[in-house]
Structure 1
Amino acid sequence: MGGSLCLARLMSTIDVLGKSMHLQLDRHDRRPLYMQIVEQIQQHIRTGALPLGSRLPPIRELAVDLGLTRLTVHNAYAELQAG
């Protein structure tokens, strides 16, 4: 049971402007993974933990950290940019 839970949840701590930002994704959530990324980054912006306009990690780096495809992270970044 614990193993499947670990596989279902993807976690990463990314460094943005010297600050740690935590992302936690759930493969069992109905929302697509890219939208979970979008929502969590937007939440960090709303709370002031991440200044608007901050540079996010490169797509490849975040994809590797989260164990996702680059396309998933690309879609999240495109959604954020479309705003």
Structure 2
Amino acid sequence: LKAIGSVTLKKGEPGLIQLASCCRVPFKTFTAEALREFEHHFPGSGFVRKTVGVGSVSGPAAWLLSQGQLLGETLREQGVTITLGVAH
């Protein structure tokens, strides 16, 4: 694991900060505008769009962190969405 990414609105999210700290990786955030450039590659949610201003966060954040080199399918469980990418 090289980084954890999310939308700027989540920059103070204790769970994400703690996860990044425990994994000893940076927690990088992106503006909704930056994520919007890549959201067309991923299924979106009206709730997420209304809440953070972009329909999908996990996929576009992983896309930006890995320059589009995603690994496998997006995982969704108990309100948490995880998309993995390969960074070199």
- Give the TM-score band, short-chain normalised: under 0.3
Q: Which has the higher helix share?
A: 1
TM-score for the superposition, normalised by structure 2 = 0.25
TM-score for both structures, normalised by structure 1 = 0.25
Structure (1/2) with the larger strand percentage? 2
Which structure is higher in RCO with an 8 Å CA cutoff and minimum separation 6? Answer: 1
